[in-house]
Structure 1
Amino acid sequence: MDKAIEWLTNNSDLLLHYGIQAIFAIVIFIIGNKVAHFAGKLTAKGLEKRNVDKAVSSFLSSIIYALVFAAVILMALSQLGIQTTSFVAILGAAGLAVGLALQGSLSNFASGVLIIILRPFKAGDFVEAGGKSGSVQKIEIFSTELRTPDNKVIIMPNSAIMGGAITNFSREATRRIDLVIGVSYEADLKQTKQVLENVLNADERVLKEPAYTVAVLELADSSVNFVVRPWVNSGDYWPTYFALMENIKIALDENNIAIPYPQMDVHVHKDA
């Protein structure tokens, strides 16, 4: 006990020096962490004021936060007396090893940069990518957040999005609805075509330009198939689709035009 007290007495100045340094390092870390968060939020707000896409601002603000936070860690280590130059070299070597082990994560980061540069979609667009569909909420460093129509959140790796085809349903202002309506072979084709056109003309959401198409598509096994292709605003696609399906069925029934179902006729021949 006496030796411990003697050692503390002899090294009190040194302990005080390193204690103060440690306190300053902790203060730098705490304040620096808040500054990093503030810098990220400030970047996002500044970009949003300039009408930059929300997904892009979210990605860039994440990058700014990561860079500032890394600088804060180096400052805190420097305050503790650790040589940051050698530490950076060690980090570089470790980063190379970690990079080889985490190739997937680096691929996600590179894909995130490509999404920002190429901009195949923006926040709010409804897309299909990587086998999933949903509205784009935000783009992070390694992943992109989608929200499905039934309010599920999907976190997709950026590499999965850029590794395949991307279908953007919201980029164009208009979309075409493709319907195939089968009627009986006994139906009057001219009457059927007129009934289908009347249903389209009665719906105000169907655009006049481009003009819709109503035509015989094929003479199938059990029915004569009509193709019905109206153009609508992208936001009206599904409401118009559902309404047309219902109204076409009602109109065909009112005009006694049958919609056949697959059937097979069996003919039995009796030998004399």
Structure 2
Amino acid sequence: MEYEKYLAQAPDLIITYGTKILLALVIFIIGRWVAKILARIVRSILTKRGLDITVVGFMGNIVSAVVTVMTLIAVLGQLGVQTASLVAVLGAAGLAVGLALQGSLSNFASGVLLVAFRPAKAGDYIEAAGVAGVVEEISIFSTTLITPDNKRITCPNSSIMDGVIVNYSAKDTRRVDLTIGVSYDADLQQVKEVLTRVVTENELVLDNPGVTIEVGALADSSVNFVVRPWTKTADYWTVYFGLHAAIKIELDKAGIGIPYPQMDLHVQQLPKQ
């Protein structure tokens, strides 16, 4: 009978397909193990290079996903599925999805470039895509910034990579640029001595490189001095605000005027008719 025929073939079928299924299972287990090992190695290497923890996890997940996809293709091939046709179908589907998601793929590629070239990392204060803030996170498709007034801004990675990135935290030191205007009646040598004393007495100002204090411009109503000391990046705003206040106090003590815009009003009386 028909069923007796299938029963007679059962041992051969079990051996043939059972072996394929067993090998496919072994391939899947080994593939998953390799994916975890490679992801762990990538994370370890990137961590030793000092990359941000978010970037490390991002790259580790990508490696794990790529190896897993390759493992699944190998498993399907072991089970007798025509992987060439499957890859062609997946490629066509991927092309269609890629065309539909050009913006997202552009953000993904930009995220990879941000990770690879590291123009900024978590904790850096940057200016990019028309906004400024501290980098909180670099994810697959976007970068999150925290502004000085504690607002969270999410920028597409492509917007950041397509423009100029100004990283204020990249270097350990920064120059503080001040412009101080004094009256034309002031003794310029005395002004320079007062400015030099105020700057050198500030403990946060660095001795090397030295400070620049020179006449920068003869403006409409004032003689403008440029004052350019150097300080640690973390102390920038403390020095910036502190010097402004200290300079004003010392110039007042020395009797040196700081001009401000004034308007003279002339009243002319018309003759009587």
| TM-score, normalised via structure 1 length | 0.74
CA displacement at 1:109 relative to structure 2 = 1.9
Deviations 1:184-218 (A, max 9, x none): 22222221111111110110111111111111111
Aligned CA RMSD, in angstroms, stands at 3.8
Q: Which moved more, 1:138-147 or 1:192-201?
A: 138-147
CA distance in 1, matches of 2:191, 2:176: 19
| 2:51 matched residue in structure 1 | 53
CA displacement at 1:157 relative to structure 2 = 1.4
| 1:171 matched residue in structure 2 | 170
| 1:265 matched residue in structure 2 | 264
| 2:221 matched residue in structure 1 | 222
CA displacement at 1:230 relative to structure 2 = 0.6
| 2:11 matched residue in structure 1 | none
Q: Secondary structure at the match of 1:151?
A: coil
CA displacement at 1:93 relative to structure 2 = 0.6
| 2:140 matched residue in structure 1 | 141
Cα pair 1:58 1:139 within 8 Å, conserved: no
CA distance in 2, matches of 1:153, 1:160: 16
CA distance 1:36–1:155, shift in 2 (3 Å): farther
| 1:181 matched residue in structure 2 | 180
Q: Which moved more, 1:68-77 or 1:118-127?
A: 68-77
CA distance 1:151–1:268, shift in 2 (3 Å): closer
CA displacement at 1:52 relative to structure 2 = 3.2
CA distance 1:82–1:149, shift in 2 (3 Å): farther
| 1:244 matched residue in structure 2 | 243
| 1:12 matched residue in structure 2 | none
CA displacement at 1:148 relative to structure 2 = 2.6
CA displacement at 1:135 relative to structure 2 = 2.3
| 1:24 matched residue in structure 2 | none
CA displacement at 1:237 relative to structure 2 = 0.7
Query: Amino acid of the residue matched to residue 64 of structure 1?
Result: V
CA displacement at 1:160 relative to structure 2 = 0.6
CA distance in 1, matches of 2:69, 2:133: 34
CA distance in 2, matches of 1:98, 1:216: 62
Query: Amino acid of the residue matched to residue 53 of structure 1?
Result: L
Deviations 1:26-68 (A, max 9, x none): xxxxxx99x98998678546632x2431153133123135435
Q: Which moved more, 1:61-70 or 1:198-207?
A: 61-70
CA distance in 1, matches of 2:203, 2:124: 25
Query: Amino acid of the residue matched to residue 134 of structure 1?
Result: G
Flag structure 1 segments of 5+ consecutive residues without an equivalent.
Answer: 1-31
| 2:10 matched residue in structure 1 | none
| 2:24 matched residue in structure 1 | none
CA displacement at 1:220 relative to structure 2 = 1.3
Identity of aligned residues (%): 55
| TM-score, normalised via structure 2 length | 0.74
Query: Amino acid of the residue matched to residue 94 of structure 1?
Result: A
CA distance 1:96–1:207, shift in 2 (3 Å): same
| 2:193 matched residue in structure 1 | 194
CA displacement at 1:271 relative to structure 2 = 11
CA displacement at 1:134 relative to structure 2 = 2.0
CA displacement at 1:234 relative to structure 2 = 1.2
Cα pair 1:63 1:141 within 8 Å, conserved: no
CA distance 1:99–1:127, shift in 2 (3 Å): same
Query: Amino acid of the residue matched to residue 100 of structure 1?
Result: L
CA displacement at 1:243 relative to structure 2 = 0.8
Equivalenced residue count is 254
Q: Which moved more, 1:91-100 or 1:129-138?
A: 129-138
Flag structure 2 segments of 5+ consecutive residues without an equivalent.
Answer: 1-30
